[in-house]
Amino acid sequence: MHIHILGICGTFMGGIAAIAKQLGHRVSGCDANVYPPMSTQLEELGIELKQGYLIEHLKDEPDLVIVGNAMSRGNPMVEYVLDRNIAYTSGPQWLLENVLKDRWVLAVSGTHGKTTTSSMLTWILEYANMAPGYLIGGVPQNFESSARLGEAPFFVIEADEYDTAFFDKRSKFVHYRPRTLVINNLEFDHADIFDDLSDIQKQFHHLIRMVPSNGLVLYPQNEQAIAETINKGCWTPTQQSVDELNRDKGWFAEKLKADGSEFVVSFKADIQGTVKWNLIGDFNIDNGLMAIAAARHAGVPSEVGIEALSEFINTKRRLELRGTVNGIRVFDDFAHHPTAINKTLTGVRHHVGKERIIAVLEPRSNTMKSGVHKDTLAASLDHADLIYIYQGDGVDWSVEDLIKDCKAPCVVSADLANLVESISDETQTNDTIVVMSNGGFGDIHNKLLNALTDKQNKV
C-alpha cells in the first residue's frame, strides 16, 4: 500500500512511519515543520517527506492516510481527505490492526516516566536476546531509532493517555490492548482535553478493563489516584512497588547511595541483585523497578534485568548532560509538570550535595500555559539556588507572579537572549544548570554553552 501520514515528524507518528516501512509499504508524509533529527531518520529509511499541509501532497492519491492527533477540522489536507472519501485511520488504530493484535504488548503508562521506563524495558528485553518490537516517544540511546517492528512476540509501547485523533477522542492507549501494563503514576495533566483527574481515571479504567486475566498490572502502592482506579474494577493479577514497611509484599529498592545511582532490588523480601548505573534520582529507581518487573512477566529473570540496567543509557532529554564548560554542567530535562520538576531537582540535589543548582524553566505544555499548575510550580523549584523562567508566547498567566513565592532568587524574562546573558553572568565553577521544557526552548542549551565558552575565553 501507499500510506501517507499527516503529522509525520512527531516521535510517535515517525515511529508509525518506520514500522509501516518495515512492513513493506510505500510511506510518505508531511508536517508543518520538517526538520532534523526526525526528518533525517525518516529520509534514511526511504520515506518521502513534504513540508506543510498542502493538498498537492495528496494528488498522488494514497491508499490510506494516517491522521496524527495534532490534525483538526479545517486543516486543508483533512478536509481534502474527507471530501474525496480517501480511506483514513489514526496511528493507534493502524498500529493495533497491523502490528499489536498478534503480539504480547507491554504498555507503559502514567503521567511521568513513560519514555524512560519504556526505554529501560525495551533494553532489558533486547539484552536478554528477545529482539522486541517497540515504539517509544523519545530517542532511546541504546537503539538506533525510536521504533522497530521486531522479530519476537513482544512489543513495548509508550502508552499515552492523550486523545487519539480529531475523530476519536478516546485515549491512544485503549487501542493497545496490553498483556503487561505498567501504571507509573497518575496526576492531573493535559488540561486542554481533560476536565479533572477523575476524567483521566476513567480512561485508565477503560485501559485496565482490557488487560486479560493471564496478564499483569504493575503500579506503585502509595498512589491514591491509581488505587481508586484499580478499585473501579480489575480482573488481572497485580504487583506493586512498595515502601520499606511493606517490602515483603512487592518490589522494593533499598538505596545504597543517596543520589540513587546504586540500589538493591528485592521482590517480596527476596533480594534479586544490585543496580549500579549512571542515572540518578528516586524517580529513576521507580522506573527501573517497573521495567524489571514487567520484563520478568515476559520471562526475563530479575537478575538479567538488573544486569541490563547497569548498561542502560538514559533516553535523550531525560536529565541529559549537554556539555560542560569550566566545571559548569548544562543538563537538558523534559520535566514540564510540578511533580516531575520537583523529582528531577531532588535527584540533582542528592547528586551535587551543596553545590549550586540553577533551574531554567519554560512553561510550554498546554496545561502549563493555561496556568493549571501555577500554584504548585514555585514549591517544585525549592531545591534550586537560582531560578530563571521564560515567559514565552501563549502563556495565559503572568509568570512574574511566581517570583514572590519562590524560595530562591527568581528571574523572569520574555527575551531569550537576555535570559541566556543573565544566566551566563551569574554562573560559577561547579554550578549545575538544569534546563526544563517539553519543547526545543529556542536551542537555549547550545546558546548557554556558547555563552559560557565566550565568558571563559575572556577571562
Max intra-chain CA distance, the chain:
66
**Cis geometry, peptide bond prior to residue 92 (ω within 30 degrees of 0):** no
The backbone region for 313, taken as left when phi is positive above 0, alpha when psi lies in -120 to 50, beta otherwise, is beta
Q: Would the pLDDT of 393 be above 80?
A: no
Q: Would the pLDDT of 218 be above 70?
A: yes
Residue spans of beta strands (DSSP E) within 93-198: 104-109, 133-135, 147-148, 154-158, 163-165, 168-171, 180-183
Positive or negative, the CA dihedral 206, 295, 17, 3 is negative
Q: What is the pLDDT of residue 41?
A: 82
The pLDDT confidence band at residue 21, using thresholds 50, 70 and 90, is: very high
Enter the C-alpha cell of residue 447.
Answer: 546558546
* Residue 20, CA distances (Å) to 144, 152, 323 in order: 17, 17, 36
The pLDDT confidence band at residue 71, using thresholds 50, 70 and 90, is: very high
Q: Average pLDDT for residues 372-384, to the nearest whole number? A: 83
Q: What is the pLDDT of residue 335?
A: 72
Q: What is the pLDDT of residue 316?
A: 63
Q: Average pLDDT for residues 219-238, to the nearest whole number? A: 95
Residue 206 CB neighbours (<10 A): 14
Q: What is the pLDDT of residue 366?
A: 67
157-199: per-residue pLDDT in tens?
999 998 999 999 999 999 999 999 999 988 877 667 778 889 9
Q: Would the pLDDT of 389 be above 90?
A: no
Runs of H (alpha helix) within 239-391 = 282-297, 302-309, 338-352, 366-370, 374-380
C-alpha–C-alpha distance, residues 22 and 39, integer Å: 17
Q: What is the pLDDT of residue 234?
A: 97
The pLDDT confidence band at residue 98, using thresholds 50, 70 and 90, is: very high
Lowest mean pLDDT among 53-57, 67-71, 264-268, 442-446: 442-446
Residue 166 CB neighbours (<10 A): 17
314-326: per-residue pLDDT in tens?
766 777 888 899 8
Lowest mean pLDDT among 82-96, 291-305, 314-328: 314-328
